[in-house]
Amino acid sequence: MRVLIAFSLLAFALAAQAQLYRWTDENGKVHYTDAPPPANATNVQKKASARPGGSEAASGSAQQPYALRQAASNFPVTIYTSKDCGDPCTKGLAHLKKRGVPFTEKTVGSKAEIDALTKLAGAPRVPVLVVGVVVQKEYEERSWNGALSTAGYP
C-alpha cells in the first residue's frame, strides 16, 4: 500500500512540472517566460522546466553541473527588462548567457507590470536582476557576479 502511495505521489510530481515558453514579439525581441505568450507572439516554443522533478533528460539539464542545478533550484534567476531598455539590458542578458545561468526574462510594459516592478525594486527602472530573493537594481557586473556567486552559480 505504501509503495502505491509513493508511486502515485511521484507520478503527480512529474505531471505538475512547470512549463516554460520561448517566443518572439512583434519587434523581434525574444522572451523566455513561465506564462503563456500573448496571441500575437511568433516562434512560440514550449520547453520543459529544469527544476528537480521536471523532465531534465528531455531538456538537457541533466548534463548541467550539479552546482548549477542546485543553484537554479534554490535561487531561481529572473531578469526584468523592457523593449526600450537598450544597452544595459543587452549587457545584463549577455552576462547571464556568458556565465551560463538559466534565467527567466520578464519584459515590463503594461501599467500593472511597471507597478509590480516598482513594488519589487523600489523604482520603475530596468534591468533588475532577482536571484532567489536578492534584488539587484540596474546592470553592474560586479554586483551581479556577487549575487550569482553567493547563490552558488558557478
Check whether residue 57 and residue 77 sit in a common domain: no
Whats the size of the chain, residue-wise?
A: 154
What's the burial of 8, exposed, middle or buried (CB within 10 Å: 0-12/13-18/19+)? Answer: exposed
| Domain CATH for 77 | 3.40.30.10
pLDDT reported for residue 110: 93
- pTM, to two decimals: 0.60
Name residues of the chain where pLDDT drops below 70: 1-19, 46-62
Amino acid identity for residue 87 in this structure: D
Task: Please choose, from the candidates 85, 79, 131, the residue with its C-alpha nearest in 3D space to the C-alpha of residue 105.
Answer: 79
**103-107/77-81 β-pairing:** parallel
pLDDT reported for residue 16: 46
Check whether residue 89 and residue 151 sit in a common domain: yes
pLDDT reported for residue 31: 76
Q: Is the dihedral of CA 105, 126, 93, 52 positive or negative?
A: negative
Predicted confidence (pLDDT) per residue in 93-119, tens digit: 999 999 999 999 999 999 999 999 999
Task: Please choose, from the candidates 63, 53, 33, the residue with its C-alpha nearest in 3D space to the C-alpha of residue 45.
Answer: 33
Range of the domain at 105: 64-154
pLDDT reported for residue 2: 56
The whole-angstrom separation of Cα 125 and Cα 14 is 37
Check whether residue 38 and residue 68 sit in a common domain: no
End-of-domain residue from the set 46, 62, 78: 62
